[in-house]
Amino acid sequence: MSDFVFLFRATEADNREHMGTPERAQRSMEAWLTWIRDLEAKGHLKDAGQPLDRGGKVVRGKKKVITDGPYAESKDLVLGFMVVQARDLAQAVELSSGCPMLDGSGSVEIRPIAKFEM
């Protein structure tokens, strides 16, 4: 088994659209809980991640230019992450297919955690 990071990306507008009415918020939440519970039941969930605050700074370049919040210039911001265990990348991709993020225009970026054999 290998570890993979799932990075959830979406635009702020898409995110709000999904939570736009209480009924939609309810559906989104239920969909997430169902998906996560399923991953957990099958032993794929290694770390459910940590919620990320919206604020923050981006520091760039040699001059260390500091800008406000990652979202100011990024259309598709990282909303959260989790660590999933899968046999290989193909299975990790398959596991992501039920992610509610994909119901809108959001995306899941799947990155293997690099292994270094000593």
Partner 1 sequence: MSAPAELDRHLFRREAGRLIPALTRIFGVHNLALAEDVVQDAFCRALEVWKARGVPENPSAWLMATARNRALDVLRRERTARTFAPELGRLLETEWTLTPLVDEAFATGAIRDEQLRMMFSCCHPRLPEEVQLALVLNILCGFGAAEIAAAFLTGRAAVEKRIARGKTALAGAKRLFDLGDAEFESRLSTVRRALYLLFNEGYHGASADAPVHADLCAEALRLTMLLREHPPAATPTTDALAALMFLHAARLPARTDAAGDLSALVDQDRSRWDRRLIADGLALLERSAAGSEVSGYHVEAAIAAAHAGAPTLGDTDWPAIVALYDRLMAVAPSPVVALNRAIAIGERDGPERGLAALGAIADRDRLSAYPFFAAAHGELELRRGAPDAARKRFEAALALARNDAERRFLERRLEACR
- Amino acid sitting at position 69: G
Kindly state whether residue 48 participates in binding partner 1, applying the rule CB under 8 A: yes
Which tokens go with 60? 């760039």
Please report how close the Cβ of residue 74 comes to partner 1 at its closest, in angstroms: 17
Of 30 and 73, nearer to partner 1 (C-beta) is: 30
Kindly state whether residue 22 participates in binding partner 1, applying the rule CB under 8 A: yes
Measuring CA to CA, how many Å separate 105 from each of 15, 49, 57, 88?
9, 22, 25, 26
Of 14 and 110, nearer to partner 1 (C-beta) is: 14
The number of beta carbons lying within 10 Å of the beta carbon of residue 65 is 9
Kindly state whether residue 55 participates in binding partner 1, applying the rule CB under 8 A: no
Q: Distance between CA 22 and CA 3 in Å, rounded? A: 35
The residues binding partner 1 (CB under 8 A) are: 15-16, 19-26, 28-30, 32-33, 36-37, 40, 45, 48-52, 79-80, 82
